[in-house]
Structure 1
Amino acid sequence: MKSISIKLCVVLITLFSNTLLAQEFQGKAIYQSKTTVDMDNFGGRQMSEEQKKMITERMKSMLEKTFILTFNRTESTYKEEEKLETPGSGGGPWRGMMSSFTGGPQYKNVKESKLLQEQEFFGKQFLVVDELETLEWKMEGETKQIGQYTCYKATAVKKVDEMDFMNMRRRRDRGNDEKEKAEKSKDSVDRDDPMSELEVPKEITITAWYTPQIPVNQGPGEYWGLPGLILEVNAGRTTILCSKIVMNPEEKEEIKMPSKGKEVTREEYNQIMKDKIEEMREMYGGRGGRGNRRF
């Protein structure tokens, strides 16, 4: 009996120690995110190089961001670094719409496959609740050094959210589809509507670089599921690169689920955005009117 009691105590102490370690272990990674935009996709063919440069510069604050990933073995938060807004970097209602695609604080729980994100859209606060997407990663065998860490390459095919405007592109030429060409030629309204010439691809190939030297299956944004912290992601026109890592900082930050806003699913939130975009298209001239030029 005494032997059994000792073994039981050892097991309980081990379990307690592992739980304590899991709670205490924490890391912080700083990521630089940059998205490139092909101005020709947004009417840039009719713009001068000076106009393209001016618009690209005004969009810089939306396309180049710094994020902080705070993580332990099972949970993480991913937040944009707070910065003072540059004077003259406005953009009216369209800026409000575009800023919604990056969202607010994001929480991941890889053990429970849970993803939560605060999202402010035109002055209204939402809490988007979703399941973590499980990507089928393919280990490529290539390695490279990122800072002091040896990283391994992995790729996966990811479905693109239908409202992901960061991956928007001009529609592919469907010259072989005579029926579609004929229907399009009959519809002069669609020819005059710039949004009708754009599309979001159904899927893109993701390239990630992870390091087993930090053995957690966490990463920036919604990316996760590799045997090591993901330090770099290339997804469509966006590159996310880790620039600094602090392991077990002296002042630990509480990792907690966001709670602000009306709780909605991703599908519900997408529908809210669709309705607002349609409202704005009508407000700004919509279906081929003069206001469409301003759009």
Structure 2
Amino acid sequence: MKKSLLKIALVFTVLLVGSNAFAQDFQGKAYYMSKTTMDLDEFGGRDMSPERKKQIQERMKSFLEKVYILTFNKEESIYKEDEKLEAPGGGGRGFGGFGSSLTGGPKYKNVKTKELIQDQEFFGKQFLIKDELKNLEWKMGTETKQIGNYTCFKATATKTVDEFDFRSFRPRGRGNDEKKDEEKAKDSTKSGDETSKSDNPMDEIEVPKTIEVVAWYTPQIPINQGPGDYWGLPGLILEINADRTTILCTKIVLNPEEKEDIDKPTKGDEVTQAEYNEIITKKMEEMREMYGGRGGRGGRGGGRRN
């Protein structure tokens, strides 16, 4: 009990010191490394040779490991990828042309007006996804850890997952019934029932409805901001652990000499997230019809287990 009270007192002390230090208008930059793990064995990689598996992992690295920059002030932020030249044959545009739709462009947040605006390209067309900034129901903890020069506190929440969030993609029907599912697939192959499975690779994938999120924030930077669409804590979020993805702050610059304008994205057809997901779904239906006329070859390698 005494330890908990001491930690709570520490939170308030840090908050007071931080608030005084940031009383004047300022701007900051936080650099984040985002890494998503993906087990190829879950997506039909068990039968691959080690060399082939290594090749695919290298191609996927640029898609699963990225560096982002969060530029922020007291009310606004813009979160965008620190783009570098991609090596020839890189996997950043993979997943059958869905790469750009899954990673997204600059994301603008305004914690005062509750605006969330995403710059998004999909199959060569520009969209502007506008939605209300939704807060997670954070459960504040007293556990602390050091990230760089900053004392961080733990908070947890349950988050609803977007149906096209590639970071939580899973093979459909795996888990406890994995063995049974594999046996059915083998029986189907033996009987020559190849056409009974969908030729759209996305049909082999599912996304959980919710995931548990662990955040580490520092009251030393009393800004209600964080990476991606995360926010809502009494301090800048320096680390996020969400399902298979870890987002870790590696560098912070406060009051840089050359300040940047935090402008809202403005180009593209304005849609909500729900409308944008509907557009993706329709495109998938078109691709399903296209793959359907190829005798099942279009879906090979997209999660089918032979």
Name the TM-score, length of structure 1 as normaliser. Answer: 0.83
Q: 1:168 to 1:29 in 2, by over 3 A?
A: same
Deviations 1:171-222 (A, max 9, x none): 34576xxxxxx9xx8x975546554442100000000000000001100000
SS at match of 2:35: strand
CA contact (8 A) 1:192 1:288 kept: no
Amino acid across the alignment from 1:53: K
Q: State the match for 2:250 in structure 1.
A: 243
**Match among 261, 268, 273 for residue 275 of structure 2:** 268
Deviations 1:216-268 (A, max 9, x none): 11000000000000000011111100000011111111111110111011011
1:225 equivalenced with 2:226 (yes/no) = no
Rounded to whole Å, the distance in 1 between the matches of 2:215 and 2:108 is 20
Rounded to whole Å, the distance in 2 between the matches of 1:294 and 1:169 is 15
Q: State the match for 2:9 in structure 1.
A: none
Rounded to whole Å, the distance in 2 between the matches of 1:85 and 1:138 is 39
Rounded to whole Å, the distance in 1 between the matches of 2:99 and 2:260 is 29
Q: 1:25 to 1:152 in 2, by over 3 A?
A: same
Amino acid across the alignment from 1:289: G
Rounded to whole Å, the distance in 2 between the matches of 1:113 and 1:190 is 46
SS at match of 1:62: helix
SS at match of 1:201: coil
Rounded to whole Å, the distance in 2 between the matches of 1:262 and 1:279 is 21
Write the mapping of 1:129-140 to structure 2, written as runs, cut at 5 A: 129-140=130-141
1:216 equivalenced with 2:223 (yes/no) = yes
Q: Quote how far apart the aligned CAs of 1:33 are.
A: 0.6
Higher mean C-alpha deviation, range 50-59 or range 116-125: 50-59
Q: State the match for 1:257 in structure 2.
A: 264
Q: Quote how far apart the aligned CAs of 1:293 are.
A: 1.9
Rounded to whole Å, the distance in 2 between the matches of 1:135 and 1:62 is 26
Amino acid across the alignment from 1:281: R
Rounded to whole Å, the distance in 2 between the matches of 1:64 and 1:168 is 16
Q: Quote how far apart the aligned CAs of 1:88 are.
A: 2.4
Deviations 1:93-112 (A, max 9, x none): 63631232121111000111
Over aligned residue pairs, what C-alpha RMSD do you find?
2.8
Query: Structure 2, unaligned stretches of length 5 or more?
Result: 1-21, 178-183
CA contact (8 A) 1:160 1:202 kept: yes
Q: 1:286 to 1:99 in 2, by over 3 A?
A: farther
CA contact (8 A) 1:149 1:211 kept: yes
CA contact (8 A) 2:34 2:66 kept: yes
Q: 1:174 to 1:243 in 2, by over 3 A?
A: closer
Q: State the match for 1:111 in structure 2.
A: 112
Q: State the match for 2:161 in structure 1.
A: 160
CA contact (8 A) 2:158 2:211 kept: yes
Rounded to whole Å, the distance in 2 between the matches of 1:108 and 1:68 is 13
1:289 equivalenced with 2:290 (yes/no) = no
1:96 equivalenced with 2:97 (yes/no) = yes
Percent of matched pairs sharing the same residue: 68
Q: State the match for 2:39 in structure 1.
A: 38
CA contact (8 A) 1:62 1:99 kept: no
Rounded to whole Å, the distance in 2 between the matches of 1:174 and 1:79 is 38
Larger Rg: 1
Amino acid across the alignment from 2:44: G
Q: Quote how far apart the aligned CAs of 1:47 are.
A: 1.7
Q: 1:188 to 1:165 in 2, by over 3 A?
A: same
Higher mean C-alpha deviation, range 124-133 or range 38-47: 38-47
Rounded to whole Å, the distance in 1 between the matches of 2:175 and 2:275 is 31
1:205 equivalenced with 2:212 (yes/no) = yes
Q: 1:288 to 1:137 in 2, by over 3 A?
A: farther
Q: 1:209 to 1:286 in 2, by over 3 A?
A: farther
CA contact (8 A) 2:62 2:92 kept: no
Amino acid across the alignment from 2:251: K
How many residues are matched? 270
Amino acid across the alignment from 1:66: V
CA contact (8 A) 1:219 1:230 kept: yes
Q: 1:81 to 1:142 in 2, by over 3 A?
A: same
Name the TM-score, length of structure 2 as normaliser. Answer: 0.80
Higher mean C-alpha deviation, range 282-291 or range 94-103: 282-291
CA contact (8 A) 2:62 2:91 kept: no
Rounded to whole Å, the distance in 2 between the matches of 1:91 and 1:228 is 32
Amino acid across the alignment from 2:257: E
